[in-house]
Chain A
Amino acid sequence: MDLKTLFSVRERITQHPLSNTPAAGLWRNLDRAAIIRFARIAFVMCVAIGLRLWGLNQIGFNTDEAVYSGQAAAIAQVPILKDIFPVFRAHPLLFQFSLALLFNFGVSDLAARLLAVAIGVATVYVVYRLGSLLYGENTGILSALILAVMPYHVIVTRQVLLDGPMVLFSTLTLYFLARYSITEHPKWLYATGIGLGLTFLAKETGIILIGAVYGFFALSSEINVRIRDLALSFFLMVLMVLPFPLSLMLAGGSRVGQQYLVWQLFRRPNHTWDFYLSTVPVAIGLLVIILAAAGILLLRREGSWREKLLGWWIIVPVVFFQLWPTKGYQYLLPIAPALAILAGRTLIRWLSLEVKVFKRQSINTFWIRSILGGIMIVSLLVLSGQTIQPGISGTFIAGTGGVPGGREAGEWIKQNIPAESTILTIGPSMANILEFYGYRQTYGLSVSPNPLHRNPSYQPVNNPDLEIRTNNIQYIVWDSYSAERSSFFSERILELVKRFNGRVIHTQSVTVTLEDGTQVEKPVIIIYMVHP
């Protein structure tokens, strides 16, 4: 059978029986559209999954990941870890509880990160739905693609952090709010309340978005809100939040909660005022921000409550966290979905450009939009690829999020030093990592004895000399990461090593590549045994 005959046979089999009736034709068209839609979103999801899984567990946990996973292990009653990590610390426990379910089958840093990735990918899907709801299918797909490749979201959702889940729930809240704005059906307002409650339970800072919700309603006269519905929505939010303070109280942790509150209110700033300006825009993508802002101007004629909604979702976190002196790289993540949708909207809906050279003329922007969109997606993809690059090049550890050598040093401790040993590190960050991987009680020398100057989770070592002399501390760990941040405490810990005849028992090195391409081993963590 030749090619021509083959085609005609297939045509007979597939087309003729269906194309005879209009209904069958419609069904076939719908089917094709559904397949294309499915293929497009499947492609976006595959990109999102691929970027978040690539080299995911090459480097062990950082300090925050170790803490949250340690809490999850404590909730799951994992022996030893449950005695080292307190369940209640600074944040609510929704994510940690989910993680605890996984840890019932065994503690694994990979499993924890896979959960974080799943949450990140789910957020990409919610952005697709939200974008489609607000501006149509194409905008939804493009917005999801932007978020899927955005380094800011990729980096954070590869780590066991609370911000990933918080952004999932905040975006879901945004979706419910958009549904309410379209339908004005109260059930979506109630869902918004529940969404905000879940956002809080993922991370308490998410509660600031209540300002965005109310600000949006206040300035959007086209959306009608009944006070009764709003009150019920607020009540549902409180109902969702309530388990956290209740469980804190019942577990006798209310004093801990108060300590955290005092510490959060009075702790010193940890970054300068320009921290977000210098870190976040590049991670979001400068072109994303420019396109999002440009769309507001270029498409002002078709402006509606939709932009107000997304605008409030951006302005409130930006202003609040800019003023809030304790800053963290991932704190502004809730604005990423809104920016992705606004940028996607510009690229899909900015159809023409009016030029006034000789006479007013309107030109099609298809090629401009295609080129800009292509540059944006490729640049985000490249940046994300670079930041999650396996291996360590030069002085920069890309946004793999982990601490090189920390896991290996902790596992060495677990296998080689006695179970009841106690360790002293320069600071609490390395202590957290070694506790999680090493299953040994570890204290940070730099933890202040003044409760106002320390995280209430950390116990200070008021007299390290005495603790070593009385054999309460048997091992000292120096690490280059803490040493770089505090030469004072690095020198102090090395003084203790010298005073108490510390002997190196393990050196944890990482391979670094020099400028000329040669590779050398760089010691980053050194474990000493002290002999009082």
Chain B
Amino acid sequence: MLLSISFMATTSGLSMPGPVPVIEALSQPVTGDNASVDPIPVLAYYYIWFDAKSWDRAKTDYPLLGRYSSDDVDVMRQHIQWAQAAGIDGFIVSWKSTEKLNRRLDQLVELSEQENFKLAIIYQGLDFERDPLPLKQIDSDLIYFIDRYATHPVFDLFGKPMVIWSGSWKFSAQEIQKVAEPKRDRVLILATEKNVEGYQRLADLVDGNAYYWSSVNPATHPGYAEKLTAMGEAVHERGGVWIAPAAAGFDARLVGGTSIVERLDGETLRIEMDTALQSAPDAIGLISWNEFSENSHIEPSQTFGNRYLQVLTEVRNAPTPKVSDFDSSAPAGINLGTISRFTALFLLGVLIIISLLKIVIRANRMD
């Protein structure tokens, strides 16, 4: 159970716009000990770039935890606990090497280890103007990451830590190869291509693909499901890891976007989760935990409360169909098997013998 009231006390020092509503506990958190919960991990894109001032720019909704700083350890811990309770297995952390982000990543890694939570990295290969970062910087950032975390257990999702190269479509195959090739024995490097052709361009140079498709409207986009399935097949043909996207909604008009995808009270999230699953993903990339500028966040917020964690919990907790006597050989109960088995046979034998005797005696009398 999520105890939000006690948490409110610990965050009372944060800058908040007003009284914080109490978040209702998720009634049936998804637990790891439920063996029938499917083993396809759900990983939410997670941003650690927030300062108190970040909330003044291009936001229409705010976290229920207040206008937090990503430095706040209590906020991070609460995020992890909420995410776990809703069935999220880990975060895909947006990162590139800066002093601030490195500090926050360290903190997140430490907390994740404590909470038995998984992490992957989405490396921000493009700058604020959406231009590619210099290769040298990318190279040194990834070396920093590998040296620091390559063997850390929180990154152990697919055998090796997973690094998603955001904006891979802006780089040539030679550039990707130059940076990725020497590192692929330590980490999995995934492209973020937007279609099959894009992935095939890099297929031999990367370990898979994670498509960040936050703006798709499942109700109106023709061939949405087919596109994801085709991408999944293309990636798996090369033995790669396929991270399929699923979002709760989208509205980035304040940061230059034009399209809006309505949330429809969770229907969009449900459809996108279903569609992502149909593409046979190795993991679902949930867009997003806290991308408030694009309004794709599922983190409890002033506008939506914890509605989207509830929806996610329902989806993840959806009951597995039960089949009675599925495995009729499965043992159960106390092992008195042999004794009662011979008792049954013995009694049957006794019944037959006594009955036969009686029949014979009666027949003789008749004669």
Residues of A at the B interface (CB closer than 8 Å) are 62-64, 208, 210-211, 214-215, 217-219, 221, 224-227, 230, 265-273, 316, 319-321, 323-326, 328-329, 392, 394-397, 399, 402-404, 427-429, 455, 478, 480-487, 490-491, 494, 497-499, 501, 503-507, 509-510, 512, 514, 518, 520-524, 526, 529, 531
Contacts and interface: CB of A to CB of B under 8 A. Distances in A.
Interface of B: 33, 35-36, 38-40, 158-159, 236, 239-242, 270, 273-274, 277-278, 280-282, 314-315, 318-338, 340-344, 347-348, 351-352, 354-356, 358-360, 362-363, 366
Contacts of B329: 267, 270, 428-429, 455
A321 B340 CA distance: 10
B36 A484 contact: yes
B363 A226 contact: yes
A62 B323 CA distance: 9
B327 A529 contact: no
Given A211-B348, A214-B352, A503 B331 contact: no
A144 to B, nearest CB: 27
Contacts of B239: 501, 503, 529, 531
Given A323-B347, A325-B341, A485 B321 contact: no
Given A480-B38, A498-B158, A514-B314, 8 more contacts: A63-B326, A320-B344, A324-B344, A325-B337, A395-B320, A512-B321, A522-B320, A524-B321
Contact of B332 (A271, A520, A523): A271
Contacts of B358: 218-219
A269 B334 contact: yes
Contact of B36 (A63, A224, A480, A506): A480
Nearest to A481: B326
B41 to A, nearest CB: 11
Contact of B35 (A218, A404, A490, A498): A490
19 contacts: A211-B352, A218-B354, A218-B358, A219-B358, A221-B362, A225-B362, A265-B338, A268-B331, A268-B337, A273-B333, A329-B324, A329-B325, A429-B328, A486-B330, A487-B33, A498-B158, A512-B321, A522-B319, A522-B321
A152 B158 CA distance: 47
Of the candidates A395, A497, A509, A520, the one having the most CB atoms from chain B within 10 angstroms of its own CB is A520
Given A316-B351, A518-B270, A324 B325 contact: no
A244 B239 CA distance: 49
A429 B327 CA distance: 6
A272 B159 CA distance: 41
Contacts, number: 216
B184 to A, nearest CB: 13
Contacts of A266: 337-338
A429 B326 contact: yes
A320 B236 contact: no
Contact of B40 (A225, A499, A507): A507
A316 B326 CA distance: 27
Contact of A208 (B241, B323, B348): B348
B270 A323 contact: no
A453 to B, nearest CB: 8
A320 B347 contact: yes
B203 to A, nearest CB: 13
Contacts of B335: 268-269
A270 B354 contact: no
Contacts of A227: 359-360, 363
Nearest to B38: A523
Contact of A270 (B38, B322, B328): B328
A218 B270 contact: no
B351 A509 contact: no
A485 B321 CA distance: 13
A170 to B, nearest CB: 15
Nearest to A214: B355
Given A214-B355, A225-B359, A324-B341, A403 B36 contact: no
Given A394-B319, A395-B321, A501-B159, A325 B336 contact: yes
Contacts of A316: 348, 351
Nearest to A494: B39
Contact of B281 (A319, A404, A504): A504
